[in-house]
């Protein structure tokens, strides 16, 4: 048996000063697993509809995903679990491994790595490291993230792991560890390889980990220019250059089209935008800026419940000295929703009923969930607010005849 609290969200939230209205519904916990799809070449982007909480929205990006990093709410998704060529977005994963080595003290920013012939000969975008020279880890990171230097990536990989192949193994291990389900790496640069892929959802998750796990080093993504070997290059992420984002990365190959991952924080909320498969640098910049602006202007984060707030004042207790006990939320509960949609939020309280005595204060008993109809829900545990002792033998006998203590 389970219990569902019979409150209206309007009265509940009014008492907590949240000032938001919502309706009560019983919701299941089901979370269907995503389907993994293979992608073909992205020669020309095609405008199509992305899924948002407000309904379909057109985007020129073949792959797109927008995440409110603060609450974990998905704001927009198009082919977000489909495998795609990540191009230089791969360098975010390369950076994650490099940052992990820095954070553990196994390498230092001022440490220098030698430039091999293989690194010097790398094709594509480069920071132009001189053959036979040694370059500091700090400069190599800037060359990798600001100038998108393939040569810098290889120098870092060889300096840390001895070879690019061994470093790639570290990338795949780290990807599994942080939960990237649809990602596999064959190189440190993002150069084309049929077995090298990510999905837009994984790119956003990786960005979230970079921001949260390595705040000391995240600032490298937001630097607007870098000069090395007398060659000045600007950050290729237009949103960073315009001050609309504080990181992360762009990428381009013929197979993947033009892609971008960007993040920004405004009024305490952080948004991560991922697009890929646009047709040009101009389209990438325009669509990235449009979607970032849309995410911040169209959504708000509402605190619905406060830590310690009683959401069920009288949960039934079995064989207890008292017949009921109050249930309270263990933490603040917030939700990111479209602006003006607070009246559509549903709040559900689910707990085992009756709760068998004895009951300890602070005992976990069920959960509360909040969400919009048809959207994934946010769950938070419930705890009992007071202890309830178990009835003695005589009390248990009396309770069978409906004479238990009040």
**Cα–Cα distance between 165 and 324 in angstroms, integer?**
62
Is 268 in the same domain as 320?
no
Q: Kindly report, residue by residue over 270-326, the tens digit of the pLDDT.
A: 999 999 999 999 999 999 999 999 999 999 999 899 999 999 998 998 878 888 889
| Mean pLDDT score across all residues of the chain | 86
Q: Does residue 97 sit within a domain?
A: yes
Q: Does residue 41 sit within a domain?
A: no
Last residue of a domain, one of 299, 318, 349: 299
Is 284 in the same domain as 354?
no
Looking up residue 344, the CATH number of its domain turns out to be 2.60.410.10
Is 136 in the same domain as 12?
no
Look at residue 154 and tell me whether its pLDDT is greater than 90. Answer: yes
The stretch 58-87 carries a mean pLDDT of 96
Could you tell me which residues are annotated as the binding site for substrate?
249
Which band of pLDDT confidence, cut at 50, 70 and 90, is reported for residue 48? confident
Q: Does residue 66 sit within a domain?
A: yes
Could you tell me which residues are annotated as the binding site?
249
Q: Are 198 and 180 in contact (CB under 8 A)?
A: yes
Which residue range is the domain that position 324 belongs to? 2-18+306-400
* Among 65, 71, 76, 329, residue whose Cα is nearest residue 202: 65
Is 345 in the same domain as 280?
no
Is 245 in the same domain as 382?
no
The stretch 234-250 carries a mean pLDDT of 92
Is 346 in the same domain as 295?
no
Q: Which residues are catalytic?
A: 88, 91, 148
Share of the chain above pLDDT 70, in %: 85
Looking up residue 183, the CATH number of its domain turns out to be 3.40.710.10
Render 89-157 in DSSP notation, one character per residue.
Answer: GHHHHHHHHHHHHHHTTSS-TT-EEEPPHHHHT--SS---PPTT-EEEHHHHHHHHHTS--HHHHHHHH
State the number of CA atoms in the 13 A half-sphere of 312 facing the CB: 31
The stretch 132-142 carries a mean pLDDT of 96
Last residue of a domain, one of 272, 299, 326: 299
Look at residue 4 and tell me whether its pLDDT is greater than 70. Answer: no
Is 167 in the same domain as 256?
yes
Q: Does residue 319 sit within a domain?
A: yes
Predicted TM-score (pTM) above 0.85: no
The stretch 161-186 carries a mean pLDDT of 97
Last residue of a domain, one of 283, 299, 315: 299
Q: Does residue 260 sit within a domain?
A: yes
The stretch 369-378 carries a mean pLDDT of 87
Is 241 in the same domain as 326?
no
Is 254 in the same domain as 317?
no
């Amino acid at each position: 048996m389970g219990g569902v609290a019979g409150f209206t969200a309007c009265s509940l939230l009014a008492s907590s000063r949240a000032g938001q209205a919502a309706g009560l519904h019983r919701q299941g916990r089901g979370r269907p697993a995503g389907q993994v799809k293979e992608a073909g070449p992205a020669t020309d982007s095609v405008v199509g509809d992305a899924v948002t909480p407000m309904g379909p929205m057109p985007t020129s990006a073949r792959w797109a995903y927008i995440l409110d990093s603060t609450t974990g709410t998905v704001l927009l998704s198009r082919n977000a679990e489909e495998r795609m060529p990540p191009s230089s977005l791969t360098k975010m994963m390369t950076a994650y491994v490099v940052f992990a080595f820095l954070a553990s003290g196994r390498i230092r920013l001022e440490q220098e790595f030698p430039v091999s012939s293989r690194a010097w000969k790398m094709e594509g975008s480069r920071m132009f490291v001189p053959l036979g020279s040694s370059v500091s880890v700090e400069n190599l990171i800037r060359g990798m993230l600001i100038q998108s230097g393939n040569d810098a990536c290889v120098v870092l990989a060889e300096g840390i792991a001895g070879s690019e192949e061994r470093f790639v193994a570290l990338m795949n291990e780290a990807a599994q560890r942080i939960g990237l389900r649809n990602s596999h790496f064959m190189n440190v640069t993002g150069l084309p390889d049929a077995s090298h892929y990510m999905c837009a959802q994984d790119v956003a998750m990786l960005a979230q980990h970079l921001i949260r796990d390595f705040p000391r080093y995240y600032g490298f993504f937001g630097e607007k220019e870098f000069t090395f070997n007398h060659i000045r290059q600007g950050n290729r992420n237009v949103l960073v250059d315009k001050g609309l984002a504080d990181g992360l990365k762009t990428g381009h190959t013929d197979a993947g089209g033009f892609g971008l991952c960007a993040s920004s924080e405004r009024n305490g909320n952080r948004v991560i935008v991922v697009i890929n498969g646009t047709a040009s640098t101009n389209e990438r910049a325009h669509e990235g800026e449009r979607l970032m602006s849309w995410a911040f202007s169209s959504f708000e984060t509402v605190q619905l419940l406060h830590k310690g707030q009683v959401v069920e004042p009288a949960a039934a207790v079995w064989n207890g000295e008292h017949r009921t006990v109050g249930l309270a939320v263990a933490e603040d509960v917030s939700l990111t929703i479209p602006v003006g949609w607070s009246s559509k939020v549903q709040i559900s309280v689910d707990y085992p009923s009756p709760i068998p005595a004895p009951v300890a204060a602070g005992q976990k008993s069920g959960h509360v969930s909040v969400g919009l109809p048809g959207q994934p829900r946010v769950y938070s545990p419930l705890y009992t607010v007071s202890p309830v002792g178990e009835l003695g033998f005589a009390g248990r006998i009396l309770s069978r005849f409906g004479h238990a203590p009040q």
